[in-house]
Structure 1
Amino acid sequence: MKKIIKIAAIALLVGICYFGFTTYPKLDLISGFSAKSIASGHFLDHREQSLIEKGDNDIDMIDLATNQIDEAGKWASASVYGLKERKAIYREGLGATLINDDFDVSKPYLVPKRTVPNNTIPFPYGNKETQDTVFSNVNYAKLNAAVANAFDTKGELKKRTRSLLVIYKDKIIAEKYDTGFTKNSRILGWSMTKSITSAVFGVLEKQRKFDIAAPAPIAEWSKDERKQITTSDLLHMNSGLQWVEDYATICDATNMLFQAEDMTRSQLEKPAAHKPNTYWNYSSGTTNLLSGILRKQFKTHQEYLDFWYTDLIDKIGMNSMVIETDMKGNYVGSSYGWATTRDWAKFGLLYLHKGNWNGEQIFNESWVKYTATPTNTSGGRYGGQFWLNAGGFFPDVPKDMYYCSGFQGQMVAIIPSMDIVIVRMGLKENSEFDFNGMLRDILSSVKK
């Protein structure tokens, strides 16, 4: 008996040591991710806690968290076995923000000024429903089969598509939503938000208020080798700065998203590892640094908050979109943009139409070309905060396709040669989800 107790005690000690070594350091990130996800999903999209836990938080280790929502206080908290509790607060207009113990929740805050949605003009230039349009060159049976195939059959959790929208010649030709989601559901785009951040620079460039070819306006870099980094290098993920982006570990990216008060400084403080424009390295910190650069282009914080909406987002009718902020009031331009599937599609259409929105040029045609031109170190995979198919990553899809891409398989695909935009939102990404097959089958239903 004593021997059994001794073995059990040793096993328990080993288990505790293993937990302490492998999991405990990650608890801040686990509870931080969970609290932020619960707060955003619930207060921005009105999802039930159980739906968020079974969907957004159904990730290895994140599912260890125990969550709580406070409706009156508009916050959510999470902990792991009662340890490392984290809290995220919701503020109308700013979305949910993961906070620390030093954050003053009673302090007044600014919110962006928004315009009223236009519900009198049909989609895409407004939000009114459109009349069905039948194109003789579209095989609708084949199209609908391709769309249906992107979704799980009842009870499966293999494809996990939440929504799929196909637009041809500005008309919706296919649209489908998973159970619990509708055309009005706001869905997190994750890194598709990077493309929004890029577009804001495009607007400033058209207004002749910013030169991306000039050295990045960062005072801290003025006396070392980083002074050679241009804003264009940053937009191309080509700065040469150190950065580790690996969401399976504690790294630069996870520390920034779930620990930092000011996310615009996480990349700014990193040293150079390579010369600019010689080494491509994907970095969410770089995009949040770009958000910080944008903030400094305006005299006041209010102007910074407003500009993203007044001159881009609301101007093209993406009225459902909310870009969430960090504790210092910076837009988390790398990751935290929420919008309906239709509004994400409007963003794709803006690029399909070379920056023109219903007769108004939001940014120059040259900006679209810049966006879709491969940076010389990415193997044809990346442009100006957009992913590209120039190198044939999707072998059965036109090489002129370029797209916004986000964690867990969010996609806004723009195919100029076919006048098509495809939006897919979900919880599985390449290669678990067959994007090449989905795109191939949809596009093959439309004859040029």
Structure 2
Amino acid sequence: MKKVFKLVGFASFAGVFYIGFTTYPKLDLISGFSAKSIASGHFIDNRSQVMIEKGDNDINLIDLASNEIDQKDNFATASVYGLKERKAIYRPGLGATLIDDNFDTSKPYEIPKRTFVKNNLPFPYGNNEPMDTVFTNVDYGKLNAAVANAFDKKGAIEKRTRSLLVIYKDKIIAEKYDTGFTKDSKILGWSMTKSITATLFGILAKEGKYNINTPAPIAEWKNDDRKVITTSDLLHMNSGLAWEENYSTICDATKMLFLAENMGRVQLEKPVAFKPNSHWNYSSGTTNLLSYILRNQFKTHQEYLDFWYAALIDKIGMNSMVVETDMAGNFVGSSYAWATTRDWAKFGLLYLHEGNWNGEQLFDTGWAQYVATPTNGSRGDYGAHFWLNAGGRYPDAPKDLYSANGFQGQKVFIIPSLDLVIVRMGLTEDAKFDVNGMLKGIIGSFKK
């Protein structure tokens, strides 16, 4: 019997040792994700710690973290069984930033200058409530049923939709929010932020200040094989640079988001793995490199910070949006933009109207066609920092649909042929949430 106990004890010790050995390297990422999520959700959207832990942090391994909010000094900390404590500090105007021990919290910092245009216009060109509009070609019974079906029934936790908004001909025809969320709730778009970053290049191109078809302006690449990589290659995610994006393990993407001081330099320092424009490889590092390139287009950091808001975000009234920065002060263009569902919809409407916002052309009409044209190697699924339906990803939606997509099912769908923008925010990917079914139901509510 003693021998059995010894064997059981040894097996238990071995099991604990194995779990600890395999998990310990991930602790920086686990506590880093948790601290950042707690700080952002609480200070940007006023969510309680409990709400964030039960929602945003309800992810395998992330739920191991213990968290604490310091309301006085505006930061959150997280650790796993007391190990690998990480801190994220919130600064108004810059959102929450995951920091390391070398970060000087007392150092002065610049924040973007914001412009909030006040007018008496209804949504989307103003912030007044939208006008009531009834379209005779819409079956509102079917539409409302399709929208309701996107949400969990009481007590269920499967679909996890937080908000769903349908806009037809610039008018809101359906809008629904889950318990705890309203039209004023700011929700993280994750990789929808990539589409925001790309749009800034379209704006610079229209102004004649940037040519995306020439080699990317990176001094470190001028004397090696990377010197031929264009900004267009980067926008298409087919630069040929080495990159691993696998969030189930420690990879280039997770190390960048949860360990790097200057996220824009992580992809910059990678070698060439393929010939440019020959191999599509999704890379959050590429988008942060684009943010880094944008920074270098301006003489001062203040000009860079202001440009994102003055040229795009505040220009179209996305006044709720906050784009967060890394420790170096650059926008995390791959992942960290927060906004209300209605403001995310305004971004979709800008593309629906091919860059025209209430009479002002922000980017050339050809830019909308550019981002929605399939890139080499993507099988019709990807354009230039936008996802496409050209390859039939959603069989019951038009092929001209394209979208800004983010982790856990954040979507801004643009459907030019139907004059539709659909925004869905939630916590579930395609495997658990039937995106095609949602689109089919909404589109099916239009009478032929």
TM-score range, shorter chain: over 0.9
Within 5 Å, which residues of 2 pair with 1:383-394?
A: 383-394=383-394
- Structure 1: 5+ residue stretches without partners: none
Within 5 Å, which residues of 2 pair with 1:248-263?
A: 248-263=248-263
- Tell me the CA shift for residue 21 of structure 1: 2.4
The equivalent of 1:295 in structure 2 is: 295
Question: CA–CA distance in 1 between the matches of 2:390 and 2:179?
Answer: 35
Q: Which runs of 4+ in 1 moved over 4 A?
A: none
Scaled by the length of structure 2, what TM-score is found?
0.99
- Tell me the CA shift for residue 11 of structure 1: 2.9
The equivalent of 1:106 in structure 2 is: 106
- Tell me the CA shift for residue 4 of structure 1: 5.4
The equivalent of 1:167 in structure 2 is: 167
Question: CA–CA distance in 1 between the matches of 2:118 and 2:441?
Answer: 34
Preserved contact between residue 112 and residue 306 of structure 2 (Cα < 8 Å): yes
Question: CA–CA distance in 2 between the matches of 1:349 and 1:53?
Answer: 33
The equivalent of 1:336 in structure 2 is: 336
Preserved contact between residue 117 and residue 127 of structure 1 (Cα < 8 Å): no
Preserved contact between residue 201 and residue 210 of structure 1 (Cα < 8 Å): yes
Aligned residue for 2:10, secondary structure, equals helix
Code of the aligned partner of 1:286:
T
**Quick check: 1:210 aligned with 2:231?**
no
Question: CA–CA distance in 2 between the matches of 1:154 and 1:361?
Answer: 45
- Tell me the CA shift for residue 2 of structure 1: 4.2
Within 5 Å, which residues of 2 pair with 1:316-395?
A: 316-395=316-395
The equivalent of 2:239 in structure 1 is: 239
Question: CA–CA distance in 2 between the matches of 1:147 and 1:105?
Answer: 45
Within 5 Å, which residues of 2 pair with 1:24-423?
A: 24-118=24-118, 120-423=120-423
Indicate the larger mover: 119-128 or 292-301: 119-128
Indicate the larger mover: 243-252 or 438-447: 438-447
Question: CA–CA distance in 2 between the matches of 1:178 and 1:119?
Answer: 30
Question: CA–CA distance in 1 between the matches of 2:168 and 2:110?
Answer: 39
- Tell me the CA shift for residue 8 of structure 1: 4.6
- Tell me the CA shift for residue 156 of structure 1: 0.6
Partner deviation per Cα, 1:372-413 (whole Å, 9 max, x = no partner) = 111122111111100000111110100000000000000000
Partner deviation per Cα, 1:222-246 (whole Å, 9 max, x = no partner) = 1111101000000000100100000
Code of the aligned partner of 1:383:
G
The change in CA–CA distance for 1:117 and 1:10 in structure 2 (over 3 A counts) is farther
Preserved contact between residue 131 and residue 171 of structure 2 (Cα < 8 Å): no
The equivalent of 1:427 in structure 2 is: 427
Partner deviation per Cα, 1:123-176 (whole Å, 9 max, x = no partner) = 000110022100000000000000000000011111000000000000000000
- Structure 2: 5+ residue stretches without partners: none
Question: CA–CA distance in 2 between the matches of 1:77 and 1:19?
Answer: 23
Code of the aligned partner of 2:31:
S
Partner deviation per Cα, 1:266-314 (whole Å, 9 max, x = no partner) = 1001100000000000000000000000000000000000000001000
Code of the aligned partner of 2:405:
S
Indicate the larger mover: 9-18 or 387-396: 9-18
Aligned residue for 1:421, secondary structure, equals strand
Question: CA–CA distance in 2 between the matches of 1:300 and 1:184?
Answer: 33
Aligned residue for 2:425, secondary structure, equals strand
Scaled by the length of structure 1, what TM-score is found?
0.99
Aligned residue for 2:267, secondary structure, equals coil
Across the two proteins, how many residue pairs are aligned to each other? 448
Question: CA–CA distance in 2 between the matches of 1:148 and 1:88?
Answer: 36
Preserved contact between residue 166 and residue 420 of structure 1 (Cα < 8 Å): yes
Code of the aligned partner of 2:375:
T
Question: CA–CA distance in 2 between the matches of 1:96 and 1:119?
Answer: 31
Aligned residue for 2:199, secondary structure, equals helix
Code of the aligned partner of 1:335:
S
Question: CA–CA distance in 2 between the matches of 1:345 and 1:116?
Answer: 18
Preserved contact between residue 116 and residue 317 of structure 2 (Cα < 8 Å): no
State the superposition RMSD in angstroms.
Answer: 1.0
Preserved contact between residue 262 and residue 327 of structure 2 (Cα < 8 Å): yes
Question: CA–CA distance in 1 between the matches of 2:433 and 2:12?
Answer: 39
Question: CA–CA distance in 1 between the matches of 2:118 and 2:168?
Answer: 22
- Tell me the CA shift for residue 12 of structure 1: 3.5
Preserved contact between residue 348 and residue 412 of structure 1 (Cα < 8 Å): yes
- Tell me the CA shift for residue 9 of structure 1: 3.3
Question: CA–CA distance in 2 between the matches of 1:373 and 1:82?
Answer: 49
Code of the aligned partner of 1:172:
I
Preserved contact between residue 94 and residue 111 of structure 1 (Cα < 8 Å): yes
- Tell me the CA shift for residue 17 of structure 1: 1.6
Code of the aligned partner of 1:193:
T
Question: CA–CA distance in 2 between the matches of 1:66 and 1:95?
Answer: 21
Code of the aligned partner of 2:209:
K
Indicate the larger mover: 241-250 or 376-385: 376-385
Question: CA–CA distance in 1 between the matches of 2:394 and 2:35?
Answer: 35
- Tell me the CA shift for residue 19 of structure 1: 1.8
Partner deviation per Cα, 1:8-55 (whole Å, 9 max, x = no partner) = 531342123212222111000000000000000000000000000000
- Tell me the CA shift for residue 119 of structure 1: 5.5
| Aligned-residue identity in percent | 73
Code of the aligned partner of 1:280:
W
